[in-house]
Structure 1
Amino acid sequence: MEPEPRPNTPVAALTELLAGNDRFVTGRRVHPHQDAHYRASLAAEQRPFAVVFGCSDSRLAAEMIFDRGLGDLFVVRTAGHILGAEVRASIEYGVSVLGAALVVVLGHDSCGAVKAAHDVLAGDTALAGELTPIVERVVPNVRFAHRQGVTDPDRVAEIHVRRTIETLLTGDSATTRAVAEGRCAVVGMSYRLAEGRVSVLGADPLAEDRLDAA
């Protein structure tokens, strides 16, 4: 059995992810691409349609919340979705080598990394131990949010996602070139732990294109 055609445009990829999340939320999951035949068809090559860069939180399993299967998503995860050199290179691989049409930066409410950074800035705790590199990378974005008058932890987490995207798109890279050429898009999403729902942050950058494709 040959792999099924994959979404090959940013609009199609985003539409597929949002449809999968809706199935997850409403209990209509179809668990695609998880059978033995499809597994065998992917042995020689992977062609994921999206890169999902998210937090390592155990409640944020991308294939589950988007109701996807083997070979669909190229998933990169770090605590607090911290964007280091290895992570950036992994995302670049997903876009430039695997040809993903969409990059999602996925945050969530009740984020422990954001809370830890907030506590450090409030003087309630001090940087210590092996968690320091994580908190240090989140602190500037939490400080930025505070300067904008945003202190609600979940809204701060959303700003952290947006700032992560800004960092990702800084400089010349395969991802920035693919975005400029329209072959790929980068969107931020926030996941609500209790509801299971993802939402696109800010104005949906592909809303007009999705309307035209409907």
Structure 2
Amino acid sequence: MSRQHPQINLSRRSLFKFGAGAIGTSVLTAGLSSNLLAAENKAPAEDDITPDKAFQELLEGNERFVKAKRRNPHQTHSRLVEVAKGQKPFASVLGCADSRVPSEIVFDQGLGDLFVCRVAGNIATKEEIGSLEFGSLVLGSKVIMVVGHERCGAVDATIKGAEVPGQIGSLLEAIRPSVESSKGQSGDKLENACKANILAQLKKLKSSPVLSKLIEEEKLKIAGAYYDLDTGKISIVG
């Protein structure tokens, strides 16, 4: 990765609207590589898309996946060459690292379509939030979907109070408040906790000054979704 940090043009002008309190331009300059900035300036031309349209495109893609009618769009060599010049994803996904929930497949999308952050338990850490801020503010993603899923192992381990080694415990600590908030609800304990966790991560994302400003300007939509491992179906949560 290049260590050179050229002047930021369009991105910096956009970021100034949030003021130094929202995100420091010096921090942004130090943290983003020249390759990413070049990607912004040379992004391939895309049709303008509204947040609602982007949201609907995700749902329609999932419906095709469930019905085994995938189109497998944007997976050709020509698309590979096109997006090598720059990216302009229409949607972002904060998903679980679970190998059974690959975003591009379950939403029937392809190269350059989705800006994906994956972490066990689909938790919105500072790093994940920062990445999604970049995806929306700089790259132009119109929707962020937080995707939790059925029988999530990280949530289940939190419910059971599992003793875990290394840094795994940090994941369970982040999920614990959601488990506590879902106690006493009727129905399946694990499903309730998984959905409560989705809602908690939505709240974190919406508390971001960068993302909340984009929502206020109707440039971004944030939604939660629950993925059924048995059917592949996405259902909206929150």
TM-score (norm 2): 0.78
Residue equivalent to 1:162: 199
- Which residue of structure 2 lines up, in the alignment, with residue 195 of structure 1? 231
Matched letter for residue 194 of structure 2: A
CA RMSD of aligned residues (A): 1.8
How far apart are the structure 2 equivalents of 1:171 and 1:3? Answer: 28
What letter matches 1:146 in structure 2?
Answer: K
Runs of 4+ in 1 over 6 A off after TM superposition: none
Q: Secondary structure at the match of 1:129?
A: coil
Aligned with 1:177: secondary structure? helix
One-letter amino acid of the counterpart of residue 214, structure 2:
A
Query: What SS does structure 2 have at the residue aligned with 1:175?
Result: helix
Matching residue within 125, 146, 158 for 2:183: 146
Please report how far the alpha carbon of residue 59 of structure 1 lies from its aligned counterpart in structure 2 after TM superposition. Answer: 0.4
Determine the C-alpha separation between the residues in 1 that align with 2:100 and 2:68.
17
* More relative contact order, 1 or 2 (CA 8 Å, 6+ apart): 1
Match of 1:186? 222
TM-superposed deviation, 1:3: 5.3
- Mapped contact 1:8–1:100 kept (Cα < 8 A): no
Gaps of 5+ in 2: 1-42
Map 1:27-176 to 2 at 5 A. Answer: 27-120=68-161, 125-146=162-183, 152-172=189-209, 174-176=210-212
Taking the aligned partners of 1:151 and 1:192, their CA distance within structure 2 comes to 14
- Who wins on radius of gyration, i.e. which is larger? 2
Which amino acid in 2 is paired with 1:196? Answer: G
Between the aligned residues of both structures, percent identity stands at 35
Superposed displacement of residue 75, structure 1? 0.2
Normalised TM-score (structure 1): 0.86
In 1, Cα distance between equivalents of 2:195 and 2:98? 15
